[in-house]
Structure 1
Amino acid sequence: MKTFLLNLLILFLSVHLFADPVKKSDELCSCLKDAKESKNEKSKKKCLQLREKHVKALKKNSPEYNEYIERLNVCERQLMGAGDIDANLSTEKKIEAVCNCFQNKAQQKMMCFKLQSDYAKTIANDEERASFNVASGSCDK
């Protein structure tokens, strides 16, 4: 019985210590910032390896993994200068925000595509999301 409880305690601690999405996302975000500043290929490769390690530890599609991805999205938007998204905007306002990005930041199209993707994820209704993707996709012309 003592062995069982000890194993259970070790398992519980290892899951919480090694699968902490906040700590892991902060670690990768820091790595990405350093890689962006250094513009060194080794730094970028280090970040990719770190992400692979995190994905294995967090187990894809788990609540911890989803939290990790959400936090990384915020980090990536900050690194690109895109800022936060407002999930409560109407679909029309989301389309307008994406179109404004494509018109005003033509040199930073990746940031606009990221904004478009992030807003699409905030739309639960499949038909509405498809309509958003078509309308906001036509802005990039």
Structure 2
Amino acid sequence: MNKKNINKIFSWILLIGWMTIIFIMSNEPAKISDEHSNLVLQIVKTLGIPIDSFFGEIAEFIVRKTAHFTEYMILFFLAYKLLRIYLDIKDTCVFGIIIVIGYACTDEIHQLFVPGRSGMIRDVLIDTSGGIFGLFIILLIKYIKKIKARIN
């Protein structure tokens, strides 16, 4: 098996694996999900960052929504890595965002059937924002590389 085929297989495994992780986390009842958020809050406090004193009651909300944003930014990076094998840069960016939006929508629909959870359009927007931010980072890196190439 050549390096290109290994890269394809590895990219597919990473993307599907990450989608599976998102699905599993979304399948947890609200009580378990809340425990994860509280654990993250405790870790942040242990690191000496007094998030509760800054944000008070909404600290858990911020942690949860930051997790949404981050997991879908990662989803975009993995979709981008895979799609780049098959498509040009423009199509990769467009279809990468479509994957993020589509998966965010199905994830929120899935949560309608999980005890204590609810599907929220707001979360789809936060998830999509994470994907768009990932796209912005990739385009910024490409732009910086282009400028460096011109200088050299």
Into which bin does the TM-score normalised by the smaller protein fall?
0.3 to 0.5
TM-score by length of 2: 0.38
Larger Rg: 1
Higher helix proportion, which one? 2
Could you say which structure has the greater relative contact order, defined with CA pairs below 8 angstroms and 6 or more residues apart? 2
TM-score by length of 1: 0.40
